Structure 1
Amino acid sequence: MEFDLFKEWFTLENIQELLSEYRSFGPLPGIILPMLEAFIPILPLVVFIMANAAAFGLWMGFIYSWVGACGGALIVFFLVRKYGQKRFFSFVSRHGKIKKLMDWIERHGFGPLFLILCFPFTPSSAINLVAGLSKIKTSQFVLAVLCGKLVMVFMVSFIGYDVRALFQQPIRTAIAAIIIVILWLVGKQFEKSFAQAPLKKTNE
């Protein structure tokens, strides 16, 4: 019950009030909130990005969200990459689905990883963790995160910059809805193709 209440609190209105209350801290709240999502997957990254755009303006809100989202992703990646041989991560990496995702990331590299990170509904926290456990080149992952998050954060920021316009301008609302549906469908196709991919055999 408390968990449900915790999730329900993270609405656009509540986050905007939070940012307004701590405006004296400058850009820090706008950066920290998207960064936290990399560590706590249940947090709504899309809501944070929209609230930043509404509170700080389109461009500054976009920059704060992008810095926070990329910073959180890279911190998780480097922590897992450094401590990936520890008992917990070693256990996680032996899980069938995790091994399959690790293999997929290693085989496909930058391109598909970039595309996946462009989608606002991708479980990026899991991607960061598994990428850290995989053997993907650090430069590939960093570039994919910086570029993929750039596209995703700007798109969501553009939608969240003026939420009222979504209700007052039907054409803009329809375009935004179509974009979201397309991204959701494409993301599902990636998820389906990954689930059907064969698991690479490893020597025990």
Structure 2
Amino acid sequence: MQQYITELFTTYEQIAFLLSILINILISVLGVVPSVFLTAANLAVFGLWEGLLLSFIGEAAGAVVAFYLYRKGFRSMTERKLSHPKVQKLLRAQDREAFSLILALRLLPFVPSGLVTFVAAIGRVSLLVFAVASSLGKVPALLIEGYSVYQVINWTWEGKVIVTALAVVLLFITWRRLRK
């Protein structure tokens, strides 16, 4: 997928930045598609800092668009249907509490971004609070993701360590599942 997007960006060089942002918005609205391949394409075509900045702009814009669309389309969903206590806390949160929760959830790498956006959108948080907290929370995660992808793309010793560590984790997970 990254190869296809990289070719798309090089073919349409004049509007590549706009295409990247639009693809990121689409990924955010879908809510389940990982954006790492788009970050990799941005880094390959635009370089480390420009690629990271473009990925940040796209992810921030995507989160806001997804929030707005989810709010319009799913707001009628009642709180009773989402009964998990952590979900209820975010649904009822406003202002500072909502800001802190969204920021914290964006910083946690294992919490799906689409889920945070969805729950915030059907809850009581304002678009402005969501946009600021979500964008600030994306910065550290995107820097880590971008640095890791950049090292792997350029096949530096750090990239080799990252790929080796990822392979070890995947082997361990596979081994555990096979044992069960």
The TM-score range, normalised by the shorter chain, is 0.7 to 0.9
Please report the TM-score for the alignment, with normalisation by the length of structure 1: 0.66
Query: Does 2:164 correspond to 1:174?
Result: no
**Distance in 1, Cα, partners of 2:84 & 2:68:** 18
Task: Name the structure 2 match of 1:141.
Answer: 130
The residue aligned with 2:3 is 13
Q: Which range moves more in the overlay, 92-101 or 152-161? A: 92-101
Query: Partner residue of 2:90?
Result: 104
RMSD: 3.1
- 1:192 maps to none
Does structure 2 retain, via aligned residues, the 8 Å contact 1:19–1:29? yes
Contact kept, 8 Å, 2:90 with 2:123, in 1: the verdict is no
List structure 1 segments (4+ residues) > 6 angstroms apart after TM superposition: 176-179
User: 2 CA distance for matches of 1:149 and 1:99?
Assistant: 24
Offset of 1:37 from its aligned partner?
1.0
Q: Secondary structure at the match of 2:33?
A: coil
Q: Please, what TM-score do these two structures have when normalized by structure 2? A: 0.73
Give me the whole-angstrom Cα distance separating, in 1, the residues matched to 2:83 and 2:40.
32
Count of residues in correspondence between the two structures: 165
The one-character-per-residue Cα deviations of 1:97-135 (angstroms, maximum 9, x if unpaired) are 478514335455223421321345532122112101111
User: What is the alpha-carbon distance in structure 1 between the residues aligned to residue 132 and residue 165 of structure 2?
Assistant: 28
8 Å Cα contact 2:91/2:122 also seen in 1: no
Question: Any unmatched runs of 5+ in structure 1?
Answer: 1-10, 182-204
Give distance in 2, aligned partners of 1:37 and 1:66.
13
What amino acid sits opposite 1:96 in the alignment? L
Is the alpha carbon distance of 1:177 and 1:90 closer, same or farther for their aligned partners in structure 2, counting shifts above 3 Å? Answer: farther
Are residues 1:156 and 2:142 paired? no
Contact 2:152/2:159, CA 8 A, preserved across alignment: no
**Distance across 1 between alignment mates of 2:41 and 2:20:** 9
